[in-house]
Amino acid sequence: MNSDPESEPGSMTAVFACVLARDLKLASRRRIDALLPLAFFIVAISLFPLGVGPEPGMLRDMAPGVVWVCALLASMLSVGSLFAGDHADGSLEQMLLAPTSAIAVALAKCAAHWMVTGLPLIVATPLVGLLFGMSGPALATLVASLALGTPILSLLGGLGAALTLGLRSSGMLLILIVLPLAIPALIFGAGAVGTVEAGMSPQGHFSLLGALLIATAIGAPLATAAALRISTE
């Protein structure tokens, strides 16, 4: 008999690990689908120089904002299918019916979404920074701010996906609901790069971004679990 309570089946960490592994395995079986948000990210970013003109100074100035907005949109567009697959074949309700924590399920799904969508975005950002002619320190700050910010986006997106589960126009509705909540992360994330480009320390912005991450990591899974129960009743 295993005496360690955390490795017992049904404990929060066991459920978390199980759901995370399952989602990653499912994503690995559909690699093209999993990389679509990355493709959208790069294509959408490329639209901006085409739209506003190739003047290098202007591109360098708007690069942090453009990258952040496109990361936000790529996250929001891909998070809609977070619970939809499981909801459609009934496994989501089974997960909620079991005497396991819905919070662990929600957290695991958001973590899987971040690893599949957010991490590739962070890895692709240096390439994008080159396209926009960003300087080294600014680029490093942008990557760091995205590393702190994309988990926030995945967590908030999970809440939105749970609230709009199974609805008709859930894509647009999810974006409308989640974007106002994600705006502070956008402001501080892009602002951090701005302060570095102005020669000042980004520490204030990173502190606020870190605080946002902690608050969201604590609050969002709770709210997402409640939303899942509301949506599947």
Partner 1 sequence: MNKASAIRPESRLRLFSFAAPSRFYALTGWLVPLCWVVFVGFAGVGLYMGFFVAPTDATQGEVYRIIFIHVPAAWMSMLLYLVMAFWAGIGWAFNARMASVLARAIAPTGAMFAFLALWTGAFWGKPTWGTYWVWDARLTTTLILLFLYLGYIALVNAIDDQRRADQAGALLAIVGSVNVPIIYFSVKWWNTLHQGATISVTAAPKMADTMLTAMLLMTVACWAYAFAVVFMRARAMALERDAHAGWVAALARGRITG
Q: How far is the CB of 183 from partner 1 (least distance, A)?
A: 6
**Whose Cβ is closer to partner 1: residue 15's or residue 163's?**
163
- The binding site for partner 1 (CB under 8 A) comprises 159, 163-164, 167-170, 173, 176-177, 179-181, 183-184, 187, 219, 223, 226-227, 230-231, 233
Q: How far is the CB of 30 from partner 1 (least distance, A)?
A: 28
Q: How far is the CB of 25 from partner 1 (least distance, A)?
A: 30
Query: Sign (positive/negative) of CA torsion 75, 14, 231, 93?
Result: positive
**Whose Cβ is closer to partner 1: residue 134's or residue 186's?**
186
Which of 82, 75, 94, 84 lies closest to 15, judged by CA?
Answer: 94
Is 154 within 8 Å of 75 (Cβ atoms)?
Answer: yes
CA dihedral 100, 105, 106, 108 (to 10 degrees): 140
Q: How far is the CB of 34 from partner 1 (least distance, A)?
A: 28
**Residue 47 CB partners (closer than 8 Å, separation 6+):** none
